[in-house]
Homo-oligomer: A and B are copies of this chain.
């Protein structure tokens, strides 16, 4: 079942008490750079530092009491893990998060800090899926997928509802696409509340499966994706792709160097900490400034979870003085 605009509205009501209504900020320096009026939807300021709090909260609150009592489970080393852990704690139910043993300690600590049980696994997709199956079989927990799920898609779409309300008359909205939860949700939301807006997906050129899938007319998997945008490496989801194909005006691909430059611009000029995946919309806007000229452009800054010891414009810290 595809989520509808009504599902997005219902999600917005459901999650409102539990998430931040994030601000939409403007920045004259960035407007000048792009020759357009930009409206930055600050999902980096969302709970757990990313829009993922919306979908996970909607999914957990959509469960019946019986389902919820069994707890929830997922596999993720990223923002969805924290988002699901937080949403489960809010509902007072257990959460099991399958995480690869290679996940950074800081991410494990964040998930554990929300009271979730971390189940370690080998760092392969097969091991993650197998471990998750075992957890679900053993505990009876409900699997909450990171993006390929109608409750998740509807939840992620609520950010665009707020953006459209706070920045009326937009011409375009630029939105990152990895698995497609945020992009599909954004497209569904805007198709209902602001149907004149063109929704554009923004994808790393090293992980361009959505762009290729749209060109082919059917879903193609990501092949050895590589990008500084660690949140955008997954292949577009089965439920996500048809919504994107039907409702999105196109996908713009962006090289990593442009993403890093945009991330630095957001720190420097907009004073916002944004992760690479979250900066890709601005990178796309800079690259496509001719098409955007004079327009009103919404950009979803999807998250802000960054390792501050390893900012991509700084030289690597490891062993700065190797013995000669």
A44 partner residues in chain B, CB cutoff 8 A:
271
Whether the Cβ atoms of B28 and A45 lie closer than 8 Å is: no
Shortest distance from the beta carbon of A257 to any chain B beta carbon, whole Å: 17
A168 at the interface (CB under 8 A from B): no
Beyond the given A23-B23, A271-B274, could you list 18 further A-B residue pairs with CB under 8 A, ordered by the A residue number? A20-B26, A45-B272, A49-B271, A264-B308, A267-B273, A268-B273, A268-B308, A271-B272, A271-B304, A272-B273, A273-B273, A309-B313, A311-B311, A314-B317, A315-B317, A315-B320, A320-B321, A321-B321
Complex: A264 Cα to B23 Cα, angstroms: 21
Interface string of A289-324 (1 = CB under 8 A from B): 000000000000000101011010111010011000
- Let me know if A28 and B47 touch, CB within 8 A: yes
Give this chain's copy count.
2
Kindly supply a per-residue 1/0 record for chain A positions 261-299, scoring 1 wherever the CB is within 8 Å of any chain B CB and 0 otherwise: 000100110111110000000000000000000000000
- Please, which residue of chain B has its CB at the minimum distance from the CB of A320? B320
Bound-state CA distance A306–B308 (Å) is 14
Query: What 1/0 flags go to A48-68 for Cβ under 8 Å of B?
Result: 010000000000000000000
Shortest Cβ distance from residue A114 to the other chain B in the assembled complex, whole angstroms: 10
Question: Which residues of B lie under 8 Å from residue A125 when comparing CB positions?
Answer: none
Q: How many residues of A contact B (CB 8 A)?
A: 29
The 8 Å CB contact of A267, one of B26, B47, B308, is: B308
**Is A223 an interface residue, CB under 8 A from the partner?**
no
Interface of A is mostly: loop
Closest B-chain residue to A25, C-beta based? B45
A247 and B45 CA atoms in complex are apart in Å by 33
Which residues does chain B contribute within 8 Å of A267, judged by CB atoms? 273, 306, 308
The answer for the CA separation of A142 and B181 in the assembled complex, in Å, is 56
Partner of A25, one of B23, B26, B28: B23
- The residue on B at minimum CB distance from A28 is B47
A128 to B321, CA, bound (A): 42
Across the two chains, which residue of chain B brings its CB closest to A274?
A: B271
The contact sample of 26 A-B pairs, CB cut-off 8 A, is A20-B25, A20-B26, A23-B25, A25-B45, A44-B271, A45-B271, A264-B308, A267-B273, A267-B306, A268-B273, A268-B308, A271-B274, A271-B304, A272-B272, A272-B273, A273-B273, A308-B311, A308-B313, A309-B313, A309-B314, A311-B311, A314-B317, A315-B317, A315-B320, A320-B321, A321-B321
- In the complex, what residues of B have CB within 8 A of residue A45's CB? 25, 270-272
Q: In the bound complex, what is the Cα–Cα distance between A274 and B309 (angstroms)?
A: 16
